[in-house]
Structure 1
Amino acid sequence: MKITCFTVGAFQVNTYLIEDETTGDAAIIDTGETDELVQKLLSINPRPRIQKILLTHGHLDHAGGLVALQSQFDVPTYLPRKELPLFETLPVQGDWFGQPSFNRPCGRIDHFVDDGDDIHLGDTKLRFISTPGHTPGQGCYYDEQDIFVGDTLFFGSVGRTDLPMGNPAIMQQSLQRLMQLPGHLRMHSGHGPVTTLAYEKQYNPFLTFLRHA
């Protein structure tokens, strides 16, 4: 799988273009909150064969650019099922940050994903694992080598749980479950650099509860 990261928007969110190297079929993971990602994708020559849009969760920096993306790439969009109530607050999420100009329309959801679901992209198979806590339905997509974790976990940090619908106790359970996946998985977060699950389990100061379990 070929992975290209585009860091976009006021929140400097990492969005990802992933491409199956056998077929060339591609997907987008998360959107940013503006049309910046769209402009970057349109500048690629040859244009990627985008087949799917995958959302890790419904915060505006990860899903607010969905309408702009769908206007150029009319392909199925996938959202974690338990994330729908948060996703539907996109028109007011900017108000949470005192930035009403960031309020965004919701866009179209075509498919819901549940824990354990597989999503096929050419010869690539991604599995969805539900990791709520940062949001009610936050989840991750992974194959044998890479995992896209949204705002569940970062290099040296974890997703915040103090925004509406966050839950720190559930987040701790999700982090414990995430760390049961193979440690070699390269971890692509919603913000910050690439790391691995094994590195975070050993060195992330927010995961000490796992090291002392």
Structure 2
Amino acid sequence: MNIDVINLGPMGNCTYLLTEGSDAVLIDPAWDMNYLEHILSEKKLNLLAVFFTHGHFDHIKFSQDLLQKHHLQAFLEENDLVLSGLEPQFVHSYQGEQHLQIGPFKVHIIPTPGHTAGGVCLHIGNALFTGDTLFPGACGRVDLPSSNPRQMRQSLVKLSKLPEDTQIFAGHAYGGKCSSTIGYERLKNPFMRNAIRDEERL
């Protein structure tokens, strides 16, 4: 599986293009659909699915045009439907953990509420697409509508139990980087370390 990191928009967003042969999946496409269409066309890719890690506008903005053109419904956890502003016909909603086979892609959807009620991480191969749940050295904000600090701590603990070599790809390139590993974050990320420590005290 090949992973292209595409930085789009004024908020440092990371859109991810996953490809296996001519098959493709997009994660959190936002801001510039013309550019994404150009890439899909240039590489002669067949877009099989679109996934959103959560419903905030900066991860979804203008994506409805892409969905309409490709006759797709995006996968979005149902708790973030209202937050997303997407019209219902463009959304395939679901609840809780999911295991999906999308063409050659095995997708494990892991619920990770905290930043939003419907936040998820997408585990595909050895890659974990964390949206705004986990960043290199940080975690997502928990002071927004539908955020929950306790749920964020629980989500960070859940992610910490994944294999150490799991490669994470975050929703923003804060600090100039969007990727790390679970093992590194367990050791160096103060938010994950504190969440693990609090869990161990219970």
Q: TM-score, normalised by structure 2?
A: 0.87
Q: Which residue of 1 aligns with 2:121?
A: 140
Q: Which residue of 2 aligns with 1:92?
A: none
Aligned: 1:38 with 2:31? no
Structure 1 counterpart SS, 2:3: strand
Residue in structure 2 matching 1:60, options 57, 62, 66:
57
How well do the aligned residues superpose, as a CA RMSD in angstroms?
1.7
Q: Which residue of 2 aligns with 1:167?
A: 148
> How far apart are 1:74 and its partner, in Å?
2.4
Distance 1:64 1:40 in 2: 13
> How far apart are 1:119 and its partner, in Å?
2.2
Letter in 2 for 1:28: L
5 Å matches for 1:17-36? Answer: 17-21=17-21, 24-32=22-30, 34=31, 36=32
Distance 1:77 1:3 in 2: 19
Q: Whose helix fraction is larger, Structure 1's or Structure 2's? A: 2
Assess, with a 3 A threshold, how the Cα gap between structure 1 residues 5 and 131 changes in structure 2: closer, same or farther: same
Distance 1:211 1:60 in 2: 30
Shift >4 Å, 4+ stretches? none
Structure 2, unaligned runs of 5 or more: none
> How far apart are 1:211 and its partner, in Å?
5.0
Aligned length: 192
> How far apart are 1:40 and its partner, in Å?
3.6
Distance 2:58 2:72 in 1: 20
Aligned: 1:203 with 2:177? no
> How far apart are 1:191 and its partner, in Å?
0.9
Q: Is the 8 A contact 2:68 2:90 kept in 1?
A: no
> How far apart are 1:81 and its partner, in Å?
1.8
Residue in structure 1 matching 2:73, options 54, 59, 76:
76
Q: Which residue of 2 aligns with 1:50?
A: 47
Per-residue displacement from partner, 1:122-181 (whole Å, max 9, x unpaired)? 222010000001000000111331111100000111000111111111111111111111
Q: Is the 8 A contact 1:20 1:121 kept in 2?
A: no
Q: TM-score, normalised by structure 1?
A: 0.83
Q: Is the 8 A contact 1:182 1:197 kept in 2?
A: yes
Q: Is the 8 A contact 2:128 2:167 kept in 1?
A: yes
Identity %: 31
Distance 1:189 1:55 in 2: 12
Letter in 1 for 2:71: D
